[in-house]
Structure 1
Amino acid sequence: MAQFYNDDLEYIVGDYYDSSDFEDDSFDNEPQLDNDVDALDSDFEDDFEPRKSKTDTTALEARNGKDIQGIPWERLNFTRDKYRETRLNQYKNYESLSLSHGDLDKECLDVDKGKSFYDFQFNTRLVKSTIVHFQLRHLLWATSKHDVYLMQNYSVMHWSSLLRRGKEILNVAKPIVTTPKRPTLLSQPPISRVQISSMAVKGNLMVAGGFQGELICKYVNHPGVAFCSKVSTDENAITNAVDVYHGHNGSLRVMTANNDSQVRVFDTENFACVGRFTFDWSVNNASVSPDGNLLAVLGDSSECLIADANSGKVTGSLKGHLDYSFASAWHPNGQILATGNQDTTCRLWDIRNLSQSIAVLKGRMGAIRALKFTSDGRFLAMAEPADFIHIFDAQSGYAQGQEIDLFGEIAGISFSPESEALFVGVADRTYGSLLEFNIRHHNRYLDSFF
């Protein structure tokens, strides 16, 4: 992972995206997120209808011609199509390795991108994602089609898509101290001003990794913090990725992937470190197979590794990518692994035969920074650093896809657990927002309801 020092938390413009073209004085007075939760509550109770900012966009408004992000193209000096053409021509993808991409296009699957699996439902600017490191884009998670968690500056925010309001559930600017629940939990010194670089939520457990090697674990429906500590004192110990998973014996575990070349495993009983695996390069991403037995390890190497999740012993290697990898996702059947790389491709691997990838999926203009399968395994979502999310239909052999075209840095993507909704976090000074897409059905009752 690129050496990157961020002395103060602020919006990091990823892979050379400039939003200055969208700056407009008329937007200076637009409403920002109201951090007064009581005010949000009272508005909802008084009106007896979901709160909607004038900057938000509904599915009905989009069908009537409004831009889903609220960008007023009619007031700008260029059309949307012209700006898209300019972006595609001028965008510069970040590369760590200078390897030839000459034959890459020949490997890529020819995908019909004209499908519509998920329809736009709602876009809100009441909450908006922020990014700490331009290569790390796992900062948004949905635990239901109504509950989304995202990073906004020094706050972990919860967004209710049902009530359409946001609420801060954790402030990491203030000193954070573990709230002991069991006598066995070791006391940890407080940490503060944590710049959260990675995040995961499973069930009731939210886990966040920090820019200085911090790990924070919080049960979202309990006050306080269950665990917080620096897992590494290395000078460059960014927590690049975190994962929450069930081990092979059913126990709930937390895994961190750090820039100090180590993967660490913690139990959730007392948050003791029960495993520590060291690799030859910085680990940018690590994910565990659905059965808890296999570990995918990706990092500052064109090669990806498969290891035993319990011992850390490497059992296989994945060769084919041309640059560093930052994203991985397991199909729910545990047989297919997707890896995302800065060479602008996602490779799909059959874990039963690692000699070569079974398919190569290509983005439009940038690295593949985030990957997610639906819980039923039907769809794979793939996010570039900016502007494009791709949805592939696994039932078609990934040969049919949908391309979601927007403008802005993508902080994270997440399907809801029942696969009904897809959420996208956009980080932008003016048009930062949270977008919701719903799986296409034969009727539009929900649209008329809202």
Structure 2
Amino acid sequence: MSGRHPVEQPADDDMEEEVVVVEGDMAEFEDREYYHGRADDGEEMGLDDYDVLTRVTDTSSAQARKGKDIQGIPWERLNITRESYRLTRLQQYRNYENVPLSGEAVGKECKQIEKGGNYYEFFLNTRVVKPTILHFQLRNLVWATSKHDVYLMSNYSIMHWSSLSRNLSEVLNFSGHIAPAEKHTGSLLEGFTQTQISTLAVMDNLLVAGGFQGELTCKRLDKPGVSFCTRITYEDNAITNAIEIYDSLSGGVHFMASNNDCGVREFDMETFQQLSHFSFPWPVNHTSVSPDRNLITIVGDCPDGLLVDLRSGKNVASVVGHLDYSFASAWHPNGYTLATGNQDKTCRVWDLRNLALPTAILKCNMGAARSVRFSSDGQFMVVAEPADFVHVYSTKADYGRRQEIDFFGEISGVALSPDEESLYIGIWDRTYASLLQYNKRHRYGYLDSFL
């Protein structure tokens, strides 16, 4: 990931108590460009630019079934329809590319996907929760540890949202000083001040946050304070691009950090000691560990992805076909299917037994495949674009059928709960920031409330 791109500083959203539409015609957006303070990345365009002020309200499944917009956008009071706005956004949205025109060159390869899958049904949109994004290429900032519990970044704070109690609470605040409460070798006892968090990972009761200057902050959610702080590199281009927490073969919990200094580092989550450090020819944007813990998928500032031996760090194979840089990867629970998400606006699915060609090339609507997740039962694959669209593919239908979740706003992250019962989508927008929750549909009908 290029270190030259601007950092998006989170902004506070001051919401009004009433829905007010200030005089003006929304159709004027056809002659305007919206970048939320960025001049060249082209990934931001928000409804708030139409001077729509709205109170913070939730939208329930019952309200949505009666016709209310799931985001609470009052289309009936605006001078543009949802359909018109969607069409113009599709036409005007500019996907960020490191390789020019990469997204236009892949159309003929892509599999024709039937829409109409209905695997997850809308349950709640809460605008009390306001996800934010620090860097426009890094969108793994929402994690679910159960069907009720979600962790996400909101400005400088890691927040916890309980969909059961509808309670939002702060877990860690990085705007001030953060220092470890435990003593571990290599930990920076002085901690950090005003850390800019670029990526996040949470599993069970373990949380790891990565920073823009190579910082790592580790916390046990069942204990007060911070467990460990370190800065894994002091290079100028040190941003932590991705973190994965996983159960190791030895029985302990490990995590892996991918950095812009071309390094991938593995840590023990109990002692917080670094176990390995592998270097690659280009910045590493994402890694994922295979279910059998033998291989790592490595993707980054190169069109090709790598499969690397977890113990030795040696390259085992490559996946070749993407046209731009990749920022997402994931393994299917079966252990031989993997997926990669790329700025060429495709997610490609690969079979470890024959990597000559991908088994499926799935095209996004507007932008890069920024996040990819498989459900724990392997039935679904979730692909999130930078904005507006999340796609849920049926693996049983050989990725030939999908559900398209359609909304407006930048996506800060997407998370499936470990039991695949809930799907959460973080939306970053200056007016309509929120957390979307979808619940899995069941054979005997939709569960409108948790049992």
The TM-score with structure 1 as length reference comes to: 0.90
Summarize deviations over 1:137-177 as a string: whole Å, max 9, x none: 00000000100000000100000001111000111112111
The question of 1:145 aligning with 2:172 is answered: no
1:19 to 33, 39, 46: 46
Q: Report the Cα offset of residue 411 of structure 1.
A: 0.5
Paired residue secondary structure (2:265): strand
Alignment of 1:37-436 (within 5 A): 55-98=57-100, 104-180=106-182, 186=187, 188-436=189-437
SS in 1 for 2:318: strand
Q: Deviations over 1:305-345 (max 9, x none)?
A: 00011221111111000000000111011111100000000
Give yes or no for contact 1:126–1:165 (8 Å, CA) kept in 2. Answer: no
Measure how far apart 1:441 and its partner are.
2.4
Unaligned ranges ≥5, structure 1: 32-54
Distance in structure 1 (CA, Å) of the matches to 2:449 and 2:339: 37
Change (3 A) 1:448 1:305: closer
Q: Distance in 2 between matches of 1:99 and 1:125?
A: 36
* Amino acid of the structure 2 residue aligned with 1:143: T
1:187 Cα deviation after fit: 5.0
State the 1:248 CA deviation.
2.9
- In structure 2, runs of 5+ residues without a counterpart are 12-34
CA contact (8 A) 2:252 2:270 kept: no
Distance 1:449 1:103 in 2: 45
Aligned length, in residue pairs: 424
Q: SS at 2:178's partner residue?
A: coil
Q: What SS is found at the alignment partner of 1:322?
A: coil
Whether contact under 8 Å (2:319, 2:355) holds in the other structure is: yes
1:414 & 1:403 partners in 2: Cα distance? 16
What is the CA–CA distance in structure 2 between the aligned matches of 1:177 and 1:319, rounded to whole Å?
A: 43
Q: Is the 8 A contact 2:60 2:123 kept in 1?
A: yes
* Separation of aligned partners in 2, 1:331 and 1:284: 19
Tell me how far 1:352 sits from its aligned partner.
2.0
| CA distance in 1: counterparts of 2:104 and 2:67, whole angstroms | 41
- Alignment partner of 1:16: what SS? coil
Q: Is the 8 A contact 2:103 2:345 kept in 1?
A: no
What residue in structure 2 maps to residue 441 of structure 1? 442
- Alignment check: 8 A CA contact 1:248 1:293 kept: no
Identity of aligned residues (%): 52
Q: Which moved more, 1:173-182 or 1:229-238?
A: 173-182
Closer, same or farther in 2 for the Cα pair 1:227/1:63, shift >3 Å? same
Query: Does structure 2 conserve the Cα–Cα contact (< 8 Å) formed by 1:15 and 1:134?
Result: no
Cα separation, partners in 2 of 1:390 and 1:15, compared to 1, 3 Å: farther
Specify the code of the residue in structure 2 equivalent to 1:76. Answer: L
Q: TM-score with structure 2 length normalisation?
A: 0.90
Deviation by residue 1:227-258 (Cα, 9 ceiling, x = unmatched): 11111111111000001012233321111000
CA contact (8 A) 1:374 1:419 kept: yes
Superposition CA RMSD, Å: 1.9
CA distance in 2, matches of 1:131, 1:229: 22
- 1:17 CA drift (Å): 2.1
**Counterpart contact for 1:392–1:401, Cα < 8 Å:** yes
After alignment, is 318-327 or 282-291 more displaced? 282-291
Contact 1:99 1:322 in 2 (8 A): no
Query: Following the alignment from structure 1 to structure 2, what is the Cα–Cα distance between the partners of residues 299 and 185?
Result: 28
Give distance in 2, aligned partners of 1:222 and 1:231.
24
Q: Is the 8 A contact 1:247 1:293 kept in 2?
A: no
> Are the structure 2 counterparts of residues 147 and 15 from structure 1 closer, same or farther at C-alpha, using a change threshold of 3 Å?
farther
Aligned partners of 1:181, 1:317: CA distance in 2, in Å?
Answer: 40
Amino acid at match of 2:85: Y
Residue identity opposite 2:214 in structure 1 = G
TM-superposed CA distance for 1:449, in Å, is 7.8
Distance change in 2, residues 1:444/1:128 (3 Å): farther
Q: 2:232 & 2:176 partners in 1: Cα distance? A: 19
Q: For residue 15 of structure 2, what is the aligned residue in structure 1? A: none
TM-superposition CA deviations, 1:378-406 (whole Å, max 9, x none): 00000000000000000010101000000
Superposition deviation, residue 189 in structure 1: 2.8
Return closer, same or farther for 1:104/1:26 CA change in 2, 3 Å cut-off.
closer
Aligned 8 A contact 2:8 2:135 in 1: no
